[in-house]
Chain A
Amino acid sequence: MALTEKSKNMTPNISQEKDFQNIIGNLLRYGVWTALSVAAIGGIVYLLHHGQEIENYSVFIEKDKNIFEVIASIYQGLIQGKGDSIIFSGIILLFLTPVFRVLLSLFSFLLEKDYLYVAITSIVIGIIILSISFGFSH
């Protein structure tokens, strides 16, 4: 009973929901390819400059920078055309893809006037912001 009632209510929104499925699908796909292309270009630049150096990945150097300091130093590196900064910006783009996906879902639920899910999506966004703010606790 509850199911049929719900599907009746949903009928006008089905094409809209389908549109959003397509938009979210495309966002994920192009987001990943853009991010990887940037990382690959950075990788080539990095190897051209540092390819013959000896790696030292067996020793972990712990850092304590907050996310804004990291982004600022990536930006500095990008201006100087540093390979590792270009790779890092590709990785940041990759991290942003799911974030955009959540924002898009929020928008989609707002359009559908599904306020329960507007609230649920907002909680998820809140947790992500919370995780960023941990950078300031040091």
Chain B
Amino acid sequence: MTVLTFTLIMLLGAFLAGFVGSLSGLGGGIIIIPLLTIMLGVDIHYAIGAALVSVIATSSGSAAAYVKEGITNMRLGIFLEIATTLGAVGGALLSTIAPTSFIAVLFGLTLIFSAVNSLRKKEEHIVLESSPLANKLHLNGTYPTHDGEVIAYGTKNVIGGFSMMGIAGMMSGLLGIGSGAFKVIAMDNIMRIPFKVSTTTSNFMMGVTAMASSVIYIQKGYIEPGICMPVVIGVLFGAMAGAKILVRTNPKKLRIFFACLIFVLAINMIYNGINGKI
């Protein structure tokens, strides 16, 4: 394939990945990797590098709006970034020595986990009391609703959430994904933070987390400009288009459809990983 053809296919594919990623709530990075490796035969290391670059672009782009609205809990985000950046550096170092088949299988499993997680029913729970450690770290906060009402919330189990964030960071560094699913589990299920705050804060943290592993990726040659350019541009515009549609439609049926699609991709990745075809 010539570079020009590849670039055009990639631009379109990345647009679709960003679009599906935003509609399904999985993020563009996690979809672009199977697309590059299974469909275009790109080496998984280049795919991971390109996905990481697109994660930084989409997360920074959407975090901008949430930060301005005051939904993001910046203290919580920065505190947890200690865990995610440490994990990310560890994950990136691990990815440089881990065998390709291991990365492919782990990626497939993460993909299944994220797809199942995106279908899980999300119930809103607001706790008002914070744990003593959360109080010391000022991790409680408030966020505005659509009606302009301000809702206060507390934070629980700081150590549990922090540890889970370390794992989220490691997956991010190892696989080049935003690992939103792991982050939301840490904040929603463990720290009992309202859904709206946890998703926006998770987004806010992705840029810095990805940055911590990106330095190692650059030094190892994972970042190939010819692949990254169409991927970043495509994913970002796809995510923007997806966000516009999301406001107007009920994504429940779409989510089930995409979860099935992703499940097939995941099985494919695991199968190819075991057979050493990736």
Contacts and interface: CB of A to CB of B under 8 A. Distances in A.
B40 to A, nearest CB: 8
Interface size class, chain B:
35 or more
A127 B220 contact: no
A89 B85 CA distance: 23
A41 to B, nearest CB: 10
A28 B78 contact: no
Nearest to B70: A21
A51 B232 CA distance: 18
Interface string A1-25: 0110010000000000010011011
B225 A84 contact: yes
Given A21-B68, A51-B3, A94-B232, A65 B219 contact: yes
Interface in A56-110: 57-67, 70, 83-85, 87-88, 90-91, 94-95, 97-99, 101-102, 105
A116 B137 contact: yes
A40 B75 CA distance: 34
Given A36-B232, A95-B56, A51 B2 contact: yes
B42 A53 contact: no
Contact of A46 (B92, B216, B221, B225): B225
B229 A130 contact: no
A123 interface: yes
Interface residues of A, number: 69
Interface stretch (B23-31, B206-214, B262-270): B206-214
B60 interface: yes
Given A42-B229, A52-B3, A127 B75 contact: no
Interface string B75-94: 10011011001101100110
Nearest to A6: B138
A3 B211 contact: no
A39 to B, nearest CB: 5
A6 to B, nearest CB: 7
22 contacts: A3-B154, A21-B67, A32-B61, A39-B232, A46-B3, A47-B4, A47-B7, A51-B3, A55-B1, A55-B2, A60-B46, A62-B220, A94-B53, A95-B211, A97-B207, A98-B56, A98-B210, A117-B138, A120-B78, A131-B212, A132-B215, A135-B215
Given A2-B135, A46-B225, A128-B208, 14 more contacts: A3-B154, A51-B2, A51-B7, A52-B2, A57-B6, A57-B224, A58-B41, A62-B221, A67-B218, A91-B228, A94-B53, A97-B207, A121-B78, A127-B86
